[in-house]
């Protein structure tokens, strides 16, 4: 964990809530969270990250702070996306545990005490919610979500039913040691696993219908989500050793092209020696496929070589996650 980051062990929970145009839901959400925290005698801070809202969300946050001193607000000049909001929220939070929630009232704060207990008493690094009974449209949300989570489980090896569920609770050192960027908020459990935090749990949570406004996510998120998953998988497996992927692929491709070329030439020479009819090497389509394989093999190998040079020149090539020292 970065020694410059100060965690307040006397504060039970930091709640990070990214939002975009959620002015209507914020008063009700804040009152609900405060009620749950007081009922359980938790000390907490509530970080609203306004991701460039065009409605009165920032004004509402300012007015709420007068009644709820636990509120802190961060406002972006424009819309950067949920990952950027979480990144800033994680950097600013100071609690012993950190929770994330969506601002649309679909996540229930009443789930937080049990999820906190699982982290504290059962030793989890991270507990993710599972919207077992979704209140979304079955065709546009539920079925794509099931396909997405099935793919994510196979690729990451993390057995979560709902990896992208908005409500999660973490130990503070988890969020301080991962970098959430681009649209990688969908795969925070995978980022945590790659950082060495492997105790990942799951809890079924109550999911509610959206009460105000409309969803901010379109169908394109499923395509982008798959591409992001492939990026994370590749970086986790080959990020520090690109030659293992590109070099191996290049050598195999080159060998395939080389073997095909040799076979074509030898076949022609044998036919010629025996006086049999034969085709010129350059008249055979297979010869040009072999050339393509040879060229691709060289290109892939060179890509791996260049990748190794870049990796070895990186400032964080020896940036390893250390959990303890004695």
Q: What are the b/e assignments for 129-156, b being 16+ CB within 10 Å?
A: bbbeeeebeeeebeeebeebbebbeebb
pLDDT in tens, the chain (326 residues): 444 455 666 889 999 999 999 999 999 999 999 999 999 999 999 999 999 999 999 999 999 999 999 999 999 999 999 999 999 999 999 999 999 999 999 899 999 999 999 999 999 999 999 988 776 655 556 677 778 788 888 888 898 988 888 899 999 999 999 989 878 888 899 999 988 999 999 999 988 877 776 665 555 666 777 777 787 788 777 877 888 888 899 999 999 999 999 998 888 888 888 888 878 877 888 889 999 999 999 999 999 888 888 777 766 655 655 555 66
Measured in degrees and rounded to the nearest 5, phi and psi for residue 45 equal: -130, 145
Continuous segment of H or E residues that includes residue 257: helix 242-273
User: Among positive and negative, which fits the CA dihedral 231, 234, 237, 243?
Assistant: negative
3-state SS class at 56: coil
Measured in degrees and rounded to the nearest 5, phi and psi for residue 293 equal: -65, -40
Integer Cα distance of 252 and 246 in angstroms:
10
pTM, full prediction: 0.74
Say if residues 300 and 246 touch (Cβ distance below 8 Å).
yes
């Amino acid at each position: 964990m970065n020694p410059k980051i100060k965690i307040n062990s006397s504060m039970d929970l930091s709640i990070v809530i990214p939002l975009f145009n959620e002015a209507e839901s914020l008063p009700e959400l804040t009152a609900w969270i405060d009620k749950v925290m007081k009922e359980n005698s938790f000390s907490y801070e509530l970080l609203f990250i306004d991701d460039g809202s065009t409605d009165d969300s920032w004004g509402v946050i300012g007015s709420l702070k007068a009644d709820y001193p636990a509120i802190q607000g961060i406002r972006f000049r424009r819309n950067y996306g949920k990952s950027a909001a979480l990144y800033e929220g994680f950097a600013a939070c100071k609690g012993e545990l950190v929770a994330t929630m969506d601002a649309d009232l679909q996540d229930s704060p009443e789930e937080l005490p049990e999820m906190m207990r699982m982290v504290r008493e059962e030793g989890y690094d991270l507990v993710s919610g599972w919207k077992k009974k979704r209140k979304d449209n079955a065709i546009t949300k539920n079925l794509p979500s099931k396909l997405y989570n099935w793919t994510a489980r196979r690729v990451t090896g993390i057995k979560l039913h709902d990896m992208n569920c908005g409500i999660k609770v973490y130990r503070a050192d988890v969020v301080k040691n991962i970098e959430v960027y681009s649209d990688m908020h969908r795969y925070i459990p995978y980022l945590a696993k790659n950082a060495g935090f492997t105790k990942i749990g799951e809890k079924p949570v109550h999911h509610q219908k959206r009460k105000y406004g409309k969803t901010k996510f379109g169908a394109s998120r499923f395509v982008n989500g798959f591409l992001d998953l492939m990026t994370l998988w590749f970086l986790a497996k080959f990020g520090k050793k690109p030659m293992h992927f590109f070099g191996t692929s290049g050598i195999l491709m080159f060998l395939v092209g080389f073997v095909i070329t040799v076979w074509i030439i030898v076949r022609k020479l044998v036919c010629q020696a025996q006086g049999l009819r034969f085709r010129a090497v350059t008249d055979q389509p297979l010869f040009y496929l072999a050339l393509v394989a040879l060229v691709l093999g060289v290109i892939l190998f060179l890509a791996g070589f260049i990748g190794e040079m870049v990796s070895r020149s990186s400032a964080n090539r020896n940036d390893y996650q250390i959990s303890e020292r004695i």
